[in-house]
Amino acid sequence: MEKILIEHNPAPAKLEVMGVFDWPIWTKEASTFPWTYDSREICYILEGEVTVTPEGDAPVVLQEGDLVIFPKGMRCTWEIHRDIRKHYDFT
């Protein structure tokens, strides 16, 4: 199974080239829930903090300024510590 890929504080030029700021925004209050990725997702965390624990793997903490890739087919649990706000794109 592929792992979550994280780039902390990517260059603004990279985000612009990727078109990140044209992607939709998703928000969610502090909560815990299971999730399965039906598609590959790329997201950029605008606000908040979350621990994502992939099934059978170590927890990963994501926060403001992280550019993240979640692999298709990954099952995980999201534990949002501070309300999350992110740009996202399914590929």
User: What domains are defined for the chain?
Assistant: 24-60+76-91 (2.60.120.10)
pLDDT tens for 9-61 read: 999 999 999 999 999 999 999 999 999 999 999 999 999 999 999 999 999 99
Write down how long the chain is: 91
> pLDDT tens-digit profile of 64-78?
999 999 999 999 999
* pTM score: 0.95
Q: Residue 12: in which H helix or E strand, if any?
A: helix 12-18
SS3 assignment, position 38: coil
The values of phi and psi at residue 40, to 5°, are: -70, 135
